[in-house]
Amino acid sequence: MTFSIPRHWRFAEEPRLWLLLAVLAVAIFYVVLQRRRSTYETRFSDVELLASVMPARPGWRRHVPAALLVLTLAALTTGFARPTADVKVKRDKATVIVALDVSASMLATDVSPSRIQAAKTAATAFVHGLPSTFSVGLVSFSGTAALVTPPTTDKNAVTGAISALQLGGGTAIGDAVGVAVKAAQAVQASGNKAPVRIVLLSDGGNTVGQPVSAGADQAVQAGMPVTTIAYGTPDGVVAVRGQLIPVPVDQPTLESLARTTGGQHYTALSESGLKSVYKSISKEAGTTTKRKELTSEMTGLALVLGLAAAAASLVWFRALP
């Protein structure tokens, strides 16, 4: 299990940190002794006599073992206070529901070769990039929303269903969220309590079915965040009976859906941009934040510092500090 850089340090035994004052006192005492030594040396008026009496010193190196020893004590004291921190850890399992907009506006070619083809390619890569232990389901929506593939660890089944999606009229975003929530709840009812993430891509606004707010309420009640992707450029158009009809993205609605449910909101204006968004989502879905005690890490750091102090002293002075 891989951990990232710790954040938000806390201490289970915080009063023990007062012992750091003792460590500070040791450091101050060392500095005072060094100053007294310098004062004593300057009392010799004959420089040649001083050179003959005092042995040659290695300059700054004589302070290194002491500094490392102080750091060792500081690390040990910090570990004694039982520090904990928020760390990123890989998830063992999760359920991801991919909801794809297959409305007619996805025929727009402002995203090459077309919105729908680029979306299928990026979604396929996203599914295959998820950990093998993750269950993935597919929801498609246009005039209605439907569960195309129930959550499964068979990634090939999901990607095959993505490639076979057909376009239709209308955009039922609210219904899509509702269907995705019910699909995830069915998985949970079977005993799989893995966390759920709904990832919804749309290039338009809600035109049919229940309001987006109703779908958001269902997701909130189920504790399932919805990550949204506003897909397409402001200049997208589709040809309908010889006329070019603008198909802009309703970004405020999608952003509100994500914010209300505790998910993230992204914007993708190209196929490469969409792949980058899916990669970020995959990284986010694959990790979670946990509280971890770092006592062993601090003890290990103290051991390394202590060994370094001993090595420096033996190499330079033939003695332990």
Q: Which residue has the tokens 């990832």?
A: 199
Q: Return the minimum-mean-pLDDT range out of 37-46, 81-90, 244-253, 312-321.
A: 37-46
pLDDT at residue 4 greater than cutoff 60: no
Q: Helices 155-163 and 115-129 sit at what angle, rounded to 10 degrees?
A: 180
Note whether 230 and 254 are within 8 A (CB). yes
pLDDT at residue 308 greater than cutoff 60: yes
Q: What are φ and ψ of residue 55, in 5° steps?
A: -70, 155
pLDDT at residue 242 greater than cutoff 70: yes
pLDDT at 244: 87
Q: Quick one: which of 218, 98, 216 has its CA closest to 149?
A: 98
pLDDT at residue 228 greater than cutoff 60: yes
**Which token pair is 40?**
């004593």
> How would residue 5 be classed by pLDDT, with cut points 50, 70 and 90?
very low
- What is the average pLDDT value for the chain, to the nearest integer? 87
Residue type, position 255, single letter: E
pLDDT at residue 240 greater than cutoff 50: yes
**Looking at residues 260-278, what average pLDDT do you find?**
92
The CA-based dihedral angle spanning residues 64, 70, 75, 81, taken in that order and rounded to the nearest 10 degrees: 180
Residue type, position 219, single letter: A
CATH of region 92-285: 3.40.50.410
Q: How far is CA 188 from CA 64, 76, 194, 218, 282, in A?
A: 58, 45, 8, 15, 21
> How would residue 187 be classed by pLDDT, with cut points 50, 70 and 90?
very high
pLDDT at 57: 53
> How would residue 140 be classed by pLDDT, with cut points 50, 70 and 90?
very high
**Which token pair is 262?**
């505790």
- The DSSP secondary-structure symbol of 55 reads P
pLDDT at 234: 87
- The DSSP secondary-structure symbol of 205 reads -
pLDDT at 53: 53
Give the SS3 label for residue 196. Answer: strand
pLDDT at 2: 43
Give the C-alpha separation, 211 to 175, whole Å.
8
**Which token pair is 256?**
């509100």
**Which token pair is 92?**
């063992």
For CATH 3.40.50.410, the residue range(s) in the chain are: 92-285
The CA-based dihedral angle spanning residues 213, 217, 223, 224, taken in that order and rounded to the nearest 10 degrees: -30
* Residues whose CB is less than 8 angstroms from the CB of residue 120 and which lie 6 or more positions away in sequence, other chains included: 100, 162, 163, 165
> How would residue 43 be classed by pLDDT, with cut points 50, 70 and 90?
low
Give the C-alpha separation, 159 to 161, whole Å.
5
> How would residue 58 be classed by pLDDT, with cut points 50, 70 and 90?
low
Q: Return the minimum-mean-pLDDT range out of 14-23, 52-61, 181-190.
A: 52-61
* Residues whose CB is less than 8 angstroms from the CB of residue 244 and which lie 6 or more positions away in sequence, other chains included: 237, 238
> How would residue 1 be classed by pLDDT, with cut points 50, 70 and 90?
very low
pLDDT at 38: 65
> How would residue 49 be classed by pLDDT, with cut points 50, 70 and 90?
low
pLDDT at 3: 44
**Looking at residues 166-178, what average pLDDT do you find?**
96
- pLDDT tens-place string over residues 70-119: 999 999 999 999 998 887 777 778 999 999 999 999 999 999 899 999 99
Give the C-alpha separation, 205 to 228, whole Å.
12
Give the C-alpha separation, 24 to 30, whole Å.
10
E-strand ranges in the chain read 7-11, 83-90, 95-101, 135-141, 145-152, 196-202, 226-231, 237-240, 243-246, 265-268, 287-293
